[in-house]
Structures are given as structure tokens and as C-alpha cells.
Amino acid sequence: MSESGEVWLVGAGPGDPDLLTRKAARLLQRADVVLYDSLIQPELLAEIPAHAERIHVGKRASRHTLPQDRINGLMVELARAGKRVLRLKGGDPFVFGRGGEEIAELAAAGIPFEVVPGVTAAQGCAAYAGIPLTHRDCAQRVQFITAHQQSGGELPLDWPCLAGPDQTLVFYMARNTLPTICARLIEHGLSGDWPAALIEDGSTAAQRVIEADLTRLPAAVEAADVSGASLLIVGQVVRLRAQLDWFDRNRGSTAGTE
């Protein structure tokens, strides 16, 4: 092993282990240490080679096994010890994954690093739910939005812009703030019957899609007792799911669909 190690920041995709890129799979086999998040599927963890040390850093919503600054410091420490460190993150590291913060720390410390993109949750979960993010008839643009609350419980978003037509909105980490999101969108101009869907554990065998309009969706999600990782999609493209829902049809189930 060389005196100076390196870090690979790798996106694991939205859940389905088969969506891992070839490059990510190759680097996984070369890693000395794998730092992984809570959203990584067990099937993917099983592919970590026996020689590699596993460290669960447990980032999920507001429940963190390690604070972000400690994760950053740990990567630096391990690389300085000569380790090949693979930081395995759900989705894509640069889409609401704090990947920029992590490699900024590495760059400041002079640690060699490489970024391997992953299929972000918006793309993967929408595809497995049969919801195209864009469509020339009803969605000429798409916006990715974090619904993570700031201190004080506020969601300081540009609601008039988000409530515009002819677009698709994708809210990450939206389960806890779903009632607020739906209410604000209606308040700023979208109709109460505007279509929306909450995708739980997207692209996995546990996937559920709760589909309703903005007025009814919060109650539908509460009734469904959603507890897994979730993604909210708002827009006319949701209506296309009735025709394009290939994943649930292929596995012979539409459970969880309103």
C-alpha cells in the first residue's frame, strides 16, 4: 500500500443495486475502507469485499451516526494512513448529498480524490414509478428541491416560482414537510386537484407509490403509514403513471397506489 491513500466519492443510486455504475462496482472491489450511509441496500453492502473495513456513518434525515464534520475528518485520517477509501452515498453525491462539502475538506487537506456520479433519486425513483420527469405536452422543465427544514421549522422556498405550470417539481426529503408543501403550492396558485405522488423506497422491492392530488395527498400518505425514504413529485406528468407504470406491473402488484 502506498504511503498516501486516496478517496473515491461514489454514488450508489436510488436503491436498486443493479443501478450501480460499472466504475463504482470496480472501485468497490479495490477499496480498503468503505464508509456507507443508512440508505445503502443490504444487497449492495454484500458486494463489499471481505478484506475491506466497513464503517457505517448513518446519514438519514435528522438521524446521523456521525456528524458531517466527523465524516469529513475521518476520510482525511484514513487517506493519510494510506487507505483507499470509498465513500458510498445514496443517489448522486452532488445532488443534496453534501458531496461538495466532503471533497472540499479533502481538497483542503491535499488528499487525492475522485467523484463517481450515481443515478440520483429523482431520476431513478421517477423512472421506476413510471413518471417521466419531462414531457413536451405538459412539462418543459424540472426543478429539484430540498424539503429539509431549516432551524425554526421554516421552508424558505420561492413558492410563486414553484407554483408555476408546465413544469415538474421533485422534492427530496419531503415526508415530514408534505402538508406544508401542498398547502403552499395551492396558496400560490396551483389548483387543489393538481396531481402529485409520494414514492417510498423507490426502485427497490419495497417501493410504494401514493398518488393523489395536492389536497388529498397528505392524508393519503398519513393513512399509508409511510416510514421509508421518500421522494415527492408534483406535476401533470404524474397522470402518465396510469399508462406507464411498468415496475409494479412487472412484479404483479400495485399495492400502495391511491
| Residue indicated by cell numbers 463504482 | 24
At 153 the pLDDT is 66
Whether residue 83 lies in the annotated active site: no
Average pLDDT, the chain: 92
Four-CA torsion 41, 176, 119, 210, nearest 10 degrees:
90
Average confidence (pLDDT) over 135-153: 86
Among residues 16, 18, 23, 37, which one is catalytic?
A: 37
Grid cell for residue 40:
445503502
Whether residue 59 lies in the annotated active site: yes
CATH of 121-250, one of 3.40.50.720, 3.30.950.10, 1.20.140.10, 3.30.70.1400: 3.30.950.10
Rounded distance between C-alpha atoms, residue 123 and residue 165, angstroms: 20
Average confidence (pLDDT) over 115-124: 98
Q: Are strands 6-11 and 84-89 parallel, antiparallel or unpaired?
A: parallel
Among residues 32, 59, 83, 248, which one is catalytic?
A: 59
- In this predicted structure, the answer to whether residue 91 has a pLDDT above a threshold of 50 is yes
Rounded distance between C-alpha atoms, residue 44 and residue 25, angstroms: 10
Task: Write out the CATH class of domain 6-116.
Answer: alpha beta
Grid cell for residue 107:
481538497
Least Cα distance to 203 among 235, 246, 238, 169 occurs for 246
Instruction: Answer whether 0.85 is exceeded by the pTM.
Output: yes
Rounded distance between C-alpha atoms, residue 99 and residue 8, angstroms: 11
Split at pLDDT 50, 70, 90, the class of 64 is low
Is the fold of 6-116 the same as that of 121-250?
no
At 254 the pLDDT is 45
At 56 the pLDDT is 96
> Residue 119 gets which letter from DSSP?
-
For residue 227, the tally of other CB atoms under 10 A from its CB is: 9
Going from N- to C-terminal start, the domains of the chain cover: 6-116, 121-250
